[in-house]
Structure 1
């Protein structure tokens, strides 16, 4: 693998969140004069919300139906059947991992519904519908499985009361805490420095005072949400393993820049095009060399920032998440967690996904030390558009083979 080193100026993040959908709205609001014009822009953006209102309407509809139509007895049965507790999951009632996100345990509370709408609506505007769905539902499922695993261990060793096995465990709070964490991490640095500690404090303090499975689930959900926000900035293209481009016979596009910061800003522009589905982008890597090596060393010391390839820790976390879900389905959550983390960590460490290191190193060697390259794996039909956009950012196409 290419040798990595973090530069002080690039430590906060690889890719600022400006490629996310919400930054288009922020830029539009900043460019409009007058409060009335800004209000019209904001209202137009709110009118485009689809997923958040549908989800909140579904939760509200289910809550009103079981509160005012079905009656108290039926409501208790619905909540019991939808709870992601040990009793249900031990009986392989895995559908509760999804249905529990649509049932409110304490009944419909108008303030809670409004808060859920504001939170999910903000997430849809900033992160987009796909990321909102992934963060909310996946965190709800994974956090429920983690709590189930902890409770099973506690019940086996007598650390918790046997009554916990059949306790109510429904609601939207797991997904909501995850969305809060992801939003806090994806906001500008100044806001992040305040909101990330605030999100952590709001889940750590209740857990320290009342170590119940509910506060544990909230803590785990917030941590997963923060990790999701971190990945959106550091691994914006991560999600699936790919064979290196050189093995597929493809020739990636390479662009040279005067500095790593220019290349990073260019990458944001390319990610913005992808976000609006104007191009297809399978992989992207920023790389540069800052000084020659010493005697007997390589000609250049290579630094690399990847947007897709997962490291060992990334792989272990992803494998643990999917492993515990699979383990819950099989009735062995901790076994699934350990096996998933181990297998994914080994695969991530051995597999060079996306653009190969050899190709990136060859691209860096084709420019002088101190300059940077942006290597993209895209559809050849999209390259004229990408070249025009990157030319405005100071990028010049080059052929690393020459």
Structure 2
């Protein structure tokens, strides 16, 4: 939902709405409500049913490693590793597929025990985020990190600061993706421990650099930073990465709920967000008006200029790699998508928000949801416990469809706003 000049809307910091909702919040609530340790164990086991991608990916990596270790010679293995490396030579020759295949090939033989930490890390992320977000964070971060490292190495070689041998160095493995997932988890775990995990994640990747690290260590640092950005985006835009069945919801499937104040509306938003698995929820926003008749909106899905900059930079550096100009693509992509995101109006429309808020007295909060009609009864029951009451459809003048335009909302004649 963008901000247009025709609407007196003011987009507030979305983090103020979503900060108290974190991916995995439903698991944290269930564990807090559980009694003894056996009950907590049963809850954890039930949530493990969400794990699908993590064991499949680790199994494929282990299988490929076993084949390369036992079915082919050491020379052939070296050739396969080199052919799937995201090094300067391969990416300059437009072997773009290595941005994906490099995450499935290991430089050296790895034991099964060495894969257990990776499996645990990815499984925790999948339980908290779902497999789609894990897929995006792991593989997108692996690709973007590889492209940035490629751009830095290419600049170093062309400037004479690095030797030409580095252009054919091996650069494969799961480390870029796993470091990004670890960084994202550090910011999104619904526990207080994240205040310690974030600096710990930074220390883990900075110490090798202080001890004369390689370009791979630089990649690990970049991957963790990308993970931080991904985790930050999950907190700011908890619905942005939630993919649905084919077919988008229409604007006329918007439902609104009124609350006594903005604080209660935000609490209602958190309740609605935690219903997003069983209920199809495409967009959500809290809105209210102040005494100056300005409408303030806090959103959970649509991109703003900051989101556009980050997304554009990621796409730009990958597309720029196709033509050998990754860093130029990063800059151009960041600027172009930021402009588009700033003015693009998607999801909940500005007009719907304006009409709904103008139908309420000043100071009351409104929660607007773009949701499947089949899920509305469940949402209404859940939001009723937080003080939310459904708002009737409003016409273009901001008057509820079941209300006389010449009456206040209490049934008496008046101007319509207090």
**TM-score tier (shorter):** 0.7 to 0.9
- The answer on 1:220 being equivalent to 2:222 is yes
Q: CA RMSD in A?
A: 2.3
1:137-196 CA distance string (max 9 Å, x none)? 111111111111111111111122211100010010111011111111111362221111
In the aligned structure 2, how far is the partner of 1:130 from the partner of 1:5? 28
**Secondary structure, counterpart of 2:296 in structure 1:** strand
1:340-383 CA distance string (max 9 Å, x none)? 11210111122223223343233223323332111112233432
Counterpart residue number, 1:311 = 304
Q: TM-score, normalised by structure 2?
A: 0.84
Deviation at 1:13, TM superposition (A): 5.7
Structure with the higher fraction of residues in helix conformation: 1
1:184, 1:195 within 8 Å by CA — same for their partners in 2? Answer: yes
Equivalent position to 1:346, from 329, 332, 339: 339
1:203, 1:218 within 8 Å by CA — same for their partners in 2? Answer: yes
In the aligned structure 2, how far is the partner of 1:140 from the partner of 1:237? 23
1:233-264 CA distance string (max 9 Å, x none)? 21122269xxxxxxx76262111112323222
Deviation at 1:335, TM superposition (A): 2.7
Matches within 5 A, 1:196-345: 196-238=198-240, 250=252, 252-276=254-278, 278=279, 280-289=280-289, 291-293=290-292, 300-345=293-338
Residues 12 and 223 (structure 1 numbering): CA distance in 2 closer, same or farther, change over 3 Å?
farther
In the aligned structure 2, how far is the partner of 1:165 from the partner of 1:56? 29
User: After alignment, is 320-329 or 356-365 more displaced?
Assistant: 356-365
In the aligned structure 1, how far is the partner of 2:301 from the partner of 2:40? 36
Residues 306 and 43 (structure 1 numbering): CA distance in 2 closer, same or farther, change over 3 Å?
closer
Alignment coverage as a number of residue pairs: 381
Choose 1 or 2 for highest CA Rg.
Answer: 2
Residues 311 and 210 (structure 1 numbering): CA distance in 2 closer, same or farther, change over 3 Å?
farther
Counterpart residue number, 1:3 = 10
1:58-78 CA distance string (max 9 Å, x none)? 111111221222121111111
Counterpart residue number, 1:366 = 359
In the aligned structure 2, how far is the partner of 1:97 from the partner of 1:11? 32
Deviation at 1:123, TM superposition (A): 0.8
**Secondary structure, counterpart of 1:92 in structure 2:** coil
1:303-353 CA distance string (max 9 Å, x none)? 321112211121011011011111112332223222211210111122223
1:45-104 CA distance string (max 9 Å, x none)? 446532111111111111122122212111111111110000011111111111110111
2:316, 2:331 within 8 Å by CA — same for their partners in 1? Answer: yes
User: After alignment, is 266-275 or 169-178 more displaced?
Assistant: 266-275
Counterpart residue number, 1:187 = 189
Matches within 5 A, 1:45-194: 45-46=47-48, 49-188=51-190, 190-194=192-196
What are the ranges of 5 or more consecutive residues in structure 2 without an aligned counterpart? Answer: 4-8, 243-249, 400-418
1:320, 1:340 within 8 Å by CA — same for their partners in 2? Answer: yes
Residues 232 and 102 (structure 1 numbering): CA distance in 2 closer, same or farther, change over 3 Å?
same
**Secondary structure, counterpart of 2:370 in structure 1:** strand
**Secondary structure, counterpart of 2:95 in structure 1:** coil
2:285, 2:299 within 8 Å by CA — same for their partners in 1? Answer: yes
Matches within 5 A, 1:362-401: 362-399=355-392, 400=394, 401=398
In the aligned structure 1, how far is the partner of 2:354 from the partner of 2:160? 56
**Secondary structure, counterpart of 1:292 in structure 2:** coil
**Secondary structure, counterpart of 1:190 in structure 2:** coil
In the aligned structure 2, how far is the partner of 1:215 from the partner of 1:153? 17
Deviation beyond 4 Å, 4+ runs, structure 1? 10-13
Residues 381 and 112 (structure 1 numbering): CA distance in 2 closer, same or farther, change over 3 Å?
same
